[in-house]
A and B are shown apart, each in its own frame.
Chain A
């Protein structure tokens, strides 16, 4: 049993902290650990878990960690898989984040931050573009986008409300449409 716990912790620490590029980049690494290295599940089972994970909100790495960790070693397994996924780079982020906010007004740190902010802006824009490639398959999805944009600027709504409205709209309109087709 101890060996199982240690393996779960190791597998998820390796998968999420050694690979560069968060989010989707981590999926093949988790698959390598769970399917190829430890044989905790078949490829089909992994694909099913991934499909479930992708329909839920939040980070994919932690959803896969909870699911696989639990499957292998119960609640303790889920907790260990989550710790492996989250903790190592979290500690680095808290440490660096604290330094940066503490010394933001010193000439050195402020010079670094001034240069890094435009990079962040472009990186976020790039991820909007990436997601956007798959998000507008039809005219009606463009209409949703335009309405969302207009509401954001005109009504100052909480973005969560927009998301909930879109989910409900999709359930009733797109959901029923494809049922008929």
Chain B
């Protein structure tokens, strides 16, 4: 029971503080799951993110599924999903009329403007923390550099990069 409640709290906090779109949730989930509750190691977290970003669908709910199942099976999945989705669902349905009236208000825009730099720093730090754990040797560095070129220069979709790298790993590391 305790772990179910913890799961709900973890994903409630992570998802409902993730302002600024999809990837904003990554550092917050990582903080809850790795640093706060110690459910997964940072490498396992990276594995979950690999699966979630290779598949279509919102990364937040996919991570909720991955972590929820690991911690408490299908009930864990359900509870993590509820924490992720229910609050904004209720707000969007019950309060959208009020929100629409204030959508152009300077206060609302000011809040989002101030939160964006923080979100960028959080995401960058999440990547760095993971990097320190992943770049063990010259091969993994090479993979990182190739990925960077593929993403930035050739705009190759993450799903392909994730699949290619797994095949590469099978050939080289095994």
Which A residues have a C-beta under 8 Å from some C-beta of B?
16-24, 26, 48-49, 51-63, 66-67, 70, 75, 78, 82, 85-86, 88-94, 96-98, 100-101, 104, 107-108, 110-128, 131-132, 134-137, 141-142, 144-145, 148-149, 152, 158-160, 162-164, 166-179
Quick check: A170 and B55 within 8 Å, CB to CB? no
Q: Is the interface of B mostly helix, strand, loop or mixed?
A: helix
Other A-B pairs, 19, CB within 8 Å; known A66-B93, A93-B51, A118-B147: A18-B56, A22-B22, A22-B56, A58-B15, A90-B62, A94-B77, A98-B69, A115-B169, A122-B127, A124-B127, A125-B131, A125-B148, A131-B23, A141-B114, A144-B118, A159-B17, A171-B110, A175-B109, A179-B106
- Tell me if B49 is interfacial: C-beta within 8 Å of chain A: yes
Residues of chain B having any CB pair with chain A under 8 Å: 13, 15-28, 31, 36, 43-44, 46-53, 55-62, 65-66, 69-70, 77, 81, 84-85, 87-89, 91-93, 96, 99-100, 103, 105-128, 130-131, 133-136, 139-141, 143-144, 147-148, 151-152, 157-159, 161-162, 165-166, 168-170, 172-174
Q: A124 to chain B: which residues have CB within 8 Å?
A: 23, 26, 49, 123, 126-127, 130
CB-nearest residue of chain B to A61? B58
Task: Verify A120–B50 contact, CB threshold 8 A.
Answer: yes
Q: How close is B85's CB to chain A, nearest CB, in angstroms?
A: 5
Of the candidates A24, A85, A90, A115, the one whose C-beta lies within 8 Å of that of B77 is A90
Among A52, A82, A115, A132, the one with the most B-chain Cβ atoms within 10 Å of its Cβ is A115
> Whole-angstrom distance between the alpha carbons of A26 and B21 in the complex?
12
Q: Are B140 and A117 closer than 8 Å at their CB atoms?
A: yes
**Cα–Cα, bound, A170→B173 (Å):** 48
- B107→A131 contact, CB < 8 A: no
